Amino acid sequence: MAIAGITAATPDPPGGRIERQADGEPSGILRERAVELVERYIPEPDLNDVKHAVQRGCALLHRLGLTGVHAPDPLRYLEAYQELAEAGEMGLRVLAMVPLAELAEAAAHGWRTGVGNELVRIGPVKILADGALGSQSALMFAPYEGSTDNYGIGVVWGKELADAIHRSLSAGFSVAVHAIGDKANHEVLNLLAAAAAESRRRKFRPRLEHAQLLQPADIPRFGALGVVASVQPLHCPSDRYMADQYWGGRCRGAYAFASLLAGGAVLAFGSDAPVEDPDPRLGIHAAVTRQRADEPDSQPWYGHECLPVVAALYAYTMGPAIAAGEADIKGSLTPGKLADITVFAEDLTVIPPKDIPEVPVAATLIGGRFMYRAF
Protein backbone atom coordinates (compact mmCIF):
# COMPACT_ATOMS: atom_id res chain seq x y z
CA MET A 1 0.00 0.00 0.00
CA ALA A 2 2.93 2.32 0.66
CA ILE A 3 4.25 1.66 -2.86
CA ALA A 4 0.80 2.46 -4.26
CA GLY A 5 0.66 5.67 -2.24
CA ILE A 6 -2.59 4.79 -0.48
CA THR A 7 -3.11 7.07 2.52
CA ALA A 8 -5.93 8.44 4.63
CA ALA A 9 -6.40 11.09 1.94
CA THR A 10 -6.89 8.56 -0.88
CA PRO A 11 -10.55 8.57 -1.96
CA ASP A 12 -12.51 5.39 -2.59
CA PRO A 13 -12.31 4.64 -6.31
CA PRO A 14 -15.51 4.10 -8.32
CA GLY A 15 -16.71 0.54 -7.71
CA GLY A 16 -14.41 0.00 -4.75
CA ARG A 17 -13.87 0.76 -1.10
CA ILE A 18 -10.78 1.31 1.06
CA GLU A 19 -11.55 0.06 4.55
CA ARG A 20 -10.31 2.48 7.19
CA GLN A 21 -9.46 2.48 10.88
CA ALA A 22 -11.13 4.81 13.35
CA ASP A 23 -8.49 7.47 12.69
CA GLY A 24 -9.13 7.35 8.95
CA GLU A 25 -5.95 5.50 8.05
CA PRO A 26 -6.32 2.57 5.62
CA SER A 27 -6.77 -0.74 7.45
CA GLY A 28 -5.11 -2.80 4.73
CA ILE A 29 -8.38 -4.20 3.36
CA LEU A 30 -9.27 -3.16 -0.18
CA ARG A 31 -12.67 -4.13 -1.51
CA GLU A 32 -13.56 -4.77 -5.15
CA ARG A 33 -12.00 -2.23 -7.57
CA ALA A 34 -9.93 -0.66 -4.81
CA VAL A 35 -7.65 -3.67 -5.33
CA GLU A 36 -6.69 -2.17 -8.70
CA LEU A 37 -4.80 0.55 -6.81
CA VAL A 38 -2.14 -2.02 -5.87
CA GLU A 39 -2.55 -4.59 -8.67
CA ARG A 40 -0.81 -2.31 -11.14
CA TYR A 41 2.37 -2.57 -9.06
CA ILE A 42 2.46 -6.38 -9.03
CA PRO A 43 4.87 -7.67 -11.69
CA GLU A 44 3.50 -9.95 -14.39
CA PRO A 45 4.55 -13.58 -13.92
CA ASP A 46 7.19 -15.00 -16.21
CA LEU A 47 5.58 -16.82 -19.14
CA ASN A 48 7.53 -20.02 -18.50
CA ASP A 49 6.41 -19.97 -14.87
CA VAL A 50 2.81 -19.65 -16.04
CA LYS A 51 3.23 -22.57 -18.45
CA HIS A 52 4.70 -24.80 -15.74
CA ALA A 53 1.87 -23.85 -13.36
CA VAL A 54 -0.71 -24.66 -16.05
CA GLN A 55 0.83 -28.08 -16.65
CA ARG A 56 0.83 -28.87 -12.93
CA GLY A 57 -2.77 -27.73 -12.69
CA CYS A 58 -3.82 -29.89 -15.64
CA ALA A 59 -2.32 -32.98 -14.01
CA LEU A 60 -4.22 -32.25 -10.80
CA LEU A 61 -7.52 -31.69 -12.60
CA HIS A 62 -7.13 -34.89 -14.63
CA ARG A 63 -7.16 -36.84 -11.36
CA LEU A 64 -10.49 -35.18 -10.54
CA GLY A 65 -12.02 -36.20 -13.86
CA LEU A 66 -11.96 -32.80 -15.53
CA THR A 67 -11.44 -32.53 -19.28
CA GLY A 68 -11.83 -28.78 -19.73
CA VAL A 69 -12.17 -25.44 -17.98
CA HIS A 70 -13.66 -22.01 -18.58
CA ALA A 71 -10.88 -19.70 -17.38
CA PRO A 72 -11.30 -15.97 -16.61
CA ASP A 73 -7.57 -15.26 -16.78
CA PRO A 74 -5.52 -12.31 -18.08
CA LEU A 75 -4.47 -12.49 -21.72
CA ARG A 76 -0.99 -13.37 -20.49
CA TYR A 77 -2.36 -16.78 -19.58
CA LEU A 78 -3.99 -17.18 -22.96
CA GLU A 79 -0.54 -16.77 -24.48
CA ALA A 80 0.66 -19.64 -22.29
CA TYR A 81 -2.29 -21.84 -23.28
CA GLN A 82 -1.64 -21.20 -26.96
CA GLU A 83 2.08 -21.96 -26.73
CA LEU A 84 1.42 -25.18 -24.83
CA ALA A 85 -1.21 -26.20 -27.37
CA GLU A 86 1.14 -25.55 -30.28
CA ALA A 87 3.78 -27.70 -28.57
CA GLY A 88 1.27 -30.51 -27.97
CA GLU A 89 1.58 -30.00 -24.21
CA MET A 90 -1.80 -28.46 -23.29
CA GLY A 91 -3.56 -31.02 -21.12
CA LEU A 92 -7.06 -29.52 -20.92
CA ARG A 93 -9.50 -27.86 -23.25
CA VAL A 94 -9.78 -24.19 -22.33
CA LEU A 95 -12.44 -21.59 -23.01
CA ALA A 96 -10.46 -18.42 -22.31
CA MET A 97 -12.56 -15.53 -21.07
CA VAL A 98 -11.32 -12.01 -21.81
CA PRO A 99 -11.11 -9.53 -18.90
CA LEU A 100 -13.06 -6.36 -19.62
CA ALA A 101 -9.90 -4.30 -19.07
CA GLU A 102 -8.25 -6.16 -21.97
CA LEU A 103 -11.20 -6.06 -24.39
CA ALA A 104 -9.58 -3.49 -26.68
CA GLU A 105 -6.33 -5.47 -26.85
CA ALA A 106 -8.17 -8.70 -27.61
CA ALA A 107 -10.22 -7.02 -30.33
CA ALA A 108 -7.06 -5.52 -31.83
CA HIS A 109 -5.71 -9.07 -32.24
CA GLY A 110 -8.80 -9.88 -34.29
CA TRP A 111 -10.16 -12.20 -31.62
CA ARG A 112 -13.86 -12.81 -31.10
CA THR A 113 -15.82 -15.26 -29.01
CA GLY A 114 -15.47 -18.64 -30.71
CA VAL A 115 -12.11 -17.96 -32.36
CA GLY A 116 -9.64 -20.78 -31.82
CA ASN A 117 -9.76 -24.54 -32.03
CA GLU A 118 -11.03 -27.52 -30.08
CA LEU A 119 -8.25 -27.14 -27.50
CA VAL A 120 -8.03 -23.39 -26.85
CA ARG A 121 -10.90 -21.10 -27.79
CA ILE A 122 -11.76 -17.48 -27.03
CA GLY A 123 -14.78 -17.15 -24.76
CA PRO A 124 -16.88 -14.23 -23.52
CA VAL A 125 -15.77 -10.97 -21.96
CA LYS A 126 -15.83 -11.26 -18.17
CA ILE A 127 -17.47 -8.29 -16.45
CA LEU A 128 -17.88 -7.79 -12.69
CA ALA A 129 -21.18 -6.08 -11.87
CA ASP A 130 -20.93 -6.32 -8.08
CA GLY A 131 -18.92 -7.71 -5.19
CA ALA A 132 -19.30 -10.84 -3.08
CA LEU A 133 -21.28 -12.27 -0.19
CA GLY A 134 -18.38 -12.74 2.22
CA SER A 135 -17.28 -9.12 1.99
CA GLN A 136 -20.90 -7.94 2.09
CA SER A 137 -20.30 -6.16 -1.20
CA ALA A 138 -22.75 -8.09 -3.41
CA LEU A 139 -25.29 -5.48 -4.53
CA MET A 140 -28.66 -5.76 -2.82
CA PHE A 141 -32.12 -4.21 -3.02
CA ALA A 142 -32.29 -4.08 0.79
CA PRO A 143 -29.45 -3.64 3.31
CA TYR A 144 -27.54 -6.58 4.70
CA GLU A 145 -28.94 -8.05 7.90
CA GLY A 146 -27.76 -6.01 10.87
CA SER A 147 -27.10 -2.92 8.75
CA THR A 148 -29.23 0.04 7.78
CA ASP A 149 -27.10 1.41 4.96
CA ASN A 150 -24.89 -1.32 3.48
CA TYR A 151 -26.41 -2.33 0.15
CA GLY A 152 -23.15 -3.65 -1.30
CA ILE A 153 -21.07 -2.27 -4.15
CA GLY A 154 -21.76 -1.84 -7.83
CA VAL A 155 -18.36 -2.54 -9.39
CA VAL A 156 -18.91 -2.02 -13.12
CA TRP A 157 -22.30 -0.43 -12.78
CA GLY A 158 -24.94 1.81 -14.30
CA LYS A 159 -23.99 3.43 -17.58
CA GLU A 160 -20.52 1.89 -17.37
CA LEU A 161 -22.02 -1.62 -17.25
CA ALA A 162 -24.41 -0.94 -20.11
CA ASP A 163 -21.52 0.44 -22.14
CA ALA A 164 -19.31 -2.57 -21.31
CA ILE A 165 -21.96 -5.00 -22.55
CA HIS A 166 -22.56 -2.95 -25.70
CA ARG A 167 -18.83 -2.63 -26.49
CA SER A 168 -18.31 -6.36 -25.97
CA LEU A 169 -21.19 -7.39 -28.21
CA SER A 170 -20.25 -4.84 -30.86
CA ALA A 171 -16.70 -6.22 -30.95
CA GLY A 172 -17.99 -9.75 -31.56
CA PHE A 173 -17.77 -11.09 -28.02
CA SER A 174 -20.42 -12.61 -25.85
CA VAL A 175 -20.50 -11.58 -22.19
CA ALA A 176 -20.21 -13.36 -18.86
CA VAL A 177 -21.35 -10.98 -16.14
CA HIS A 178 -20.53 -11.67 -12.49
CA ALA A 179 -23.61 -10.89 -10.39
CA ILE A 180 -24.24 -12.17 -6.86
CA GLY A 181 -26.69 -9.86 -5.09
CA ASP A 182 -30.38 -9.73 -6.04
CA LYS A 183 -30.16 -6.15 -7.32
CA ALA A 184 -27.09 -6.92 -9.42
CA ASN A 185 -28.77 -9.94 -11.00
CA HIS A 186 -31.97 -7.99 -11.68
CA GLU A 187 -30.22 -5.09 -13.36
CA VAL A 188 -27.92 -7.31 -15.42
CA LEU A 189 -30.94 -9.25 -16.69
CA ASN A 190 -32.52 -5.92 -17.64
CA LEU A 191 -29.44 -4.95 -19.64
CA LEU A 192 -29.23 -8.36 -21.30
CA ALA A 193 -32.91 -8.09 -22.21
CA ALA A 194 -32.21 -4.73 -23.83
CA ALA A 195 -29.36 -6.31 -25.79
CA ALA A 196 -31.28 -9.51 -26.60
CA ALA A 197 -31.69 -8.76 -30.30
CA GLU A 198 -27.95 -8.29 -30.71
CA SER A 199 -27.13 -11.36 -28.60
CA ARG A 200 -29.50 -13.66 -30.49
CA ARG A 201 -27.73 -12.96 -33.76
CA ARG A 202 -24.77 -14.83 -32.31
CA LYS A 203 -24.10 -18.48 -31.59
CA PHE A 204 -22.93 -17.76 -28.06
CA ARG A 205 -25.36 -17.14 -25.24
CA PRO A 206 -24.78 -14.47 -22.61
CA ARG A 207 -23.94 -15.80 -19.17
CA LEU A 208 -24.70 -14.68 -15.65
CA GLU A 209 -21.86 -15.83 -13.42
CA HIS A 210 -22.85 -16.99 -9.91
CA ALA A 211 -26.48 -15.71 -9.80
CA GLN A 212 -26.37 -16.45 -6.09
CA LEU A 213 -29.42 -14.50 -4.90
CA LEU A 214 -32.46 -13.99 -7.10
CA GLN A 215 -35.86 -12.45 -6.69
CA PRO A 216 -38.66 -14.86 -7.68
CA ALA A 217 -39.71 -12.82 -10.72
CA ASP A 218 -36.18 -12.94 -12.14
CA ILE A 219 -35.84 -16.73 -12.13
CA PRO A 220 -37.89 -17.43 -15.31
CA ARG A 221 -36.16 -14.58 -17.14
CA PHE A 222 -33.03 -16.71 -17.60
CA GLY A 223 -34.88 -19.19 -19.78
CA ALA A 224 -36.92 -16.53 -21.55
CA LEU A 225 -33.83 -14.49 -22.46
CA GLY A 226 -31.58 -17.46 -23.23
CA VAL A 227 -29.16 -16.44 -20.48
CA VAL A 228 -26.99 -19.26 -19.14
CA ALA A 229 -26.93 -19.57 -15.35
CA SER A 230 -23.22 -20.27 -14.82
CA VAL A 231 -23.32 -21.34 -11.18
CA GLN A 232 -21.09 -23.09 -8.71
CA PRO A 233 -23.02 -25.56 -6.55
CA LEU A 234 -20.34 -25.92 -3.89
CA HIS A 235 -20.92 -22.29 -2.92
CA CYS A 236 -24.33 -23.34 -1.61
CA PRO A 237 -23.33 -25.49 1.39
CA SER A 238 -20.09 -23.57 1.91
CA ASP A 239 -21.92 -20.25 2.20
CA ARG A 240 -25.12 -21.35 3.92
CA TYR A 241 -24.32 -20.07 7.43
CA MET A 242 -22.85 -16.81 6.16
CA ALA A 243 -25.78 -16.33 3.80
CA ASP A 244 -28.27 -16.88 6.62
CA GLN A 245 -26.38 -14.29 8.68
CA TYR A 246 -26.18 -11.62 5.97
CA TRP A 247 -29.30 -12.27 3.88
CA GLY A 248 -31.73 -13.78 6.38
CA GLY A 249 -35.05 -14.90 4.89
CA ARG A 250 -34.00 -13.73 1.44
CA CYS A 251 -32.02 -16.98 1.23
CA ARG A 252 -35.13 -18.71 -0.07
CA GLY A 253 -34.03 -17.31 -3.42
CA ALA A 254 -30.37 -18.24 -2.97
CA TYR A 255 -28.61 -20.82 -5.16
CA ALA A 256 -31.98 -21.57 -6.76
CA PHE A 257 -30.80 -24.42 -8.98
CA ALA A 258 -34.04 -26.40 -9.21
CA SER A 259 -36.15 -23.29 -9.74
CA LEU A 260 -33.84 -22.04 -12.49
CA LEU A 261 -33.99 -25.41 -14.22
CA ALA A 262 -37.78 -25.55 -13.93
CA GLY A 263 -37.94 -22.05 -15.38
CA GLY A 264 -36.13 -23.13 -18.53
CA ALA A 265 -32.61 -21.98 -17.72
CA VAL A 266 -29.49 -23.78 -18.90
CA LEU A 267 -27.39 -24.56 -15.83
CA ALA A 268 -23.64 -24.63 -16.43
CA PHE A 269 -21.92 -25.92 -13.31
CA GLY A 270 -18.37 -25.04 -12.30
CA SER A 271 -16.29 -24.54 -9.20
CA ASP A 272 -15.01 -20.94 -9.05
CA ALA A 273 -11.64 -22.49 -8.11
CA PRO A 274 -9.56 -21.54 -6.21
CA VAL A 275 -12.44 -20.05 -4.19
CA GLU A 276 -13.89 -23.57 -3.95
CA ASP A 277 -12.48 -27.04 -4.56
CA PRO A 278 -12.53 -27.87 -8.30
CA ASP A 279 -13.59 -31.49 -7.62
CA PRO A 280 -16.87 -32.05 -9.53
CA ARG A 281 -17.86 -34.85 -7.17
CA LEU A 282 -18.14 -32.28 -4.39
CA GLY A 283 -20.17 -30.02 -6.64
CA ILE A 284 -22.54 -32.80 -7.65
CA HIS A 285 -23.00 -33.75 -4.00
CA ALA A 286 -23.72 -30.11 -3.11
CA ALA A 287 -26.31 -29.70 -5.86
CA VAL A 288 -28.07 -32.94 -4.96
CA THR A 289 -28.05 -32.68 -1.15
CA ARG A 290 -27.51 -28.97 -0.34
CA GLN A 291 -25.46 -30.23 2.60
CA ARG A 292 -21.81 -29.88 3.50
CA ALA A 293 -19.98 -33.15 2.92
CA ASP A 294 -18.74 -33.02 6.52
CA GLU A 295 -22.31 -32.54 7.86
CA PRO A 296 -24.19 -35.53 6.41
CA ASP A 297 -26.82 -35.48 9.16
CA SER A 298 -27.76 -31.83 8.69
CA GLN A 299 -31.02 -30.77 7.07
CA PRO A 300 -30.71 -29.83 3.39
CA TRP A 301 -30.58 -26.05 3.17
CA TYR A 302 -33.77 -25.01 1.36
CA GLY A 303 -34.15 -28.58 0.20
CA HIS A 304 -36.79 -27.71 -2.41
CA GLU A 305 -33.85 -26.59 -4.57
CA CYS A 306 -32.09 -29.99 -4.53
CA LEU A 307 -31.43 -31.46 -7.99
CA PRO A 308 -31.57 -35.08 -9.15
CA VAL A 309 -28.14 -36.57 -9.82
CA VAL A 310 -28.87 -36.81 -13.55
CA ALA A 311 -29.63 -33.09 -13.70
CA ALA A 312 -26.41 -32.27 -11.84
CA LEU A 313 -24.41 -34.45 -14.24
CA TYR A 314 -26.02 -32.70 -17.21
CA ALA A 315 -25.12 -29.33 -15.70
CA TYR A 316 -21.48 -30.43 -15.46
CA THR A 317 -21.36 -31.78 -19.03
CA MET A 318 -23.88 -30.42 -21.54
CA GLY A 319 -24.40 -27.19 -19.60
CA PRO A 320 -20.83 -25.90 -20.06
CA ALA A 321 -20.82 -27.13 -23.67
CA ILE A 322 -23.95 -25.07 -24.40
CA ALA A 323 -22.45 -22.09 -22.57
CA ALA A 324 -19.33 -22.32 -24.73
CA GLY A 325 -21.28 -22.66 -27.98
CA GLU A 326 -19.78 -26.12 -28.39
CA ALA A 327 -22.78 -28.39 -27.84
CA ASP A 328 -22.22 -29.86 -31.30
CA ILE A 329 -18.81 -31.28 -30.30
CA LYS A 330 -18.85 -31.60 -26.50
CA GLY A 331 -21.01 -32.46 -23.54
CA SER A 332 -22.24 -35.96 -24.35
CA LEU A 333 -21.05 -39.34 -25.60
CA THR A 334 -22.47 -39.03 -29.09
CA PRO A 335 -21.05 -40.23 -32.43
CA GLY A 336 -19.14 -37.41 -34.07
CA LYS A 337 -18.36 -35.54 -30.86
CA LEU A 338 -14.98 -35.28 -29.16
CA ALA A 339 -14.28 -38.32 -27.00
CA ASP A 340 -13.81 -36.45 -23.72
CA ILE A 341 -14.76 -38.98 -21.06
CA THR A 342 -14.77 -39.16 -17.27
CA VAL A 343 -15.04 -42.65 -15.81
CA PHE A 344 -16.14 -43.08 -12.20
CA ALA A 345 -15.63 -46.33 -10.32
CA GLU A 346 -19.35 -46.44 -9.47
CA ASP A 347 -22.63 -45.28 -11.01
CA LEU A 348 -23.36 -41.94 -9.33
CA THR A 349 -27.06 -42.25 -10.16
CA VAL A 350 -27.62 -45.37 -8.04
CA ILE A 351 -25.39 -44.96 -4.98
CA PRO A 352 -26.51 -42.95 -1.92
CA PRO A 353 -25.81 -39.26 -2.63
CA LYS A 354 -23.78 -38.96 0.57
CA ASP A 355 -21.22 -41.33 -0.95
CA ILE A 356 -20.64 -39.36 -4.16
CA PRO A 357 -17.62 -37.37 -2.87
CA GLU A 358 -15.74 -40.60 -2.12
CA VAL A 359 -16.27 -42.37 -5.45
CA PRO A 360 -12.87 -42.79 -7.14
CA VAL A 361 -12.18 -41.36 -10.57
CA ALA A 362 -11.16 -44.40 -12.60
CA ALA A 363 -10.03 -42.60 -15.75
CA THR A 364 -10.03 -39.30 -17.61
CA LEU A 365 -9.81 -39.23 -21.41
CA ILE A 366 -9.47 -36.22 -23.69
CA GLY A 367 -9.98 -36.83 -27.37
CA GLY A 368 -10.02 -40.55 -26.67
CA ARG A 369 -6.56 -40.41 -25.08
CA PHE A 370 -5.99 -41.39 -21.46
CA MET A 371 -4.82 -38.41 -19.42
CA TYR A 372 -5.29 -40.25 -16.13
CA ARG A 373 -6.09 -43.83 -15.26
CA ALA A 374 -6.26 -45.53 -11.88
CA PHE A 375 -5.94 -49.04 -13.30
- Tens-place pLDDT, residues 358-369: 999 999 999 999
- Is 203 a residue whose pLDDT tops 80? no
Work out the burial of residue 23: count CB atoms within 10 Å of its CB; fewer than 13 is exposed, 13-18 middle, 19 or more buried.
exposed
- Is 199 a residue whose pLDDT tops 70? no
Q: Global pTM?
A: 0.91
Structural domains of the chain, ranges and CATH numbers in brackets: 1-43 (no CATH), 47-332 (3.20.20.140)
List, for residues 323-370, the tens digit of each pLDDT value: 999 999 999 999 999 999 999 999 999 999 999 999 999 999 999 999
Q: For the ranges 38-42, 196-200, 292-296, 371-375, which has the lowest average pLDDT?
A: 196-200
Containing H/E element for 266? none
Q: Average pLDDT in the 194-217 region? A: 89
The pLDDT, as a whole number, for residue 196 is: 85
Over pLDDT 90: what percentage of the chain? 85
Q: Are strands 26-32 and 175-179 parallel, antiparallel or unpaired?
A: unpaired
The pLDDT, as a whole number, for residue 43 is: 81
DSSP 41: T
Length of the chain: 375
- Is 200 a residue whose pLDDT tops 70? no
Q: Which residue has the higher pLDDT, 98 or 4?
A: 98
Q: How far is CA 19 from CA 23, 40, 121, 280, 283, in A?
A: 11, 19, 39, 35, 33
Strands (E), the chain: 16-20, 26-32, 68-71, 93-99, 120-128, 175-179, 207-210, 228-231, 267-269, 341-344, 361-366, 369-373
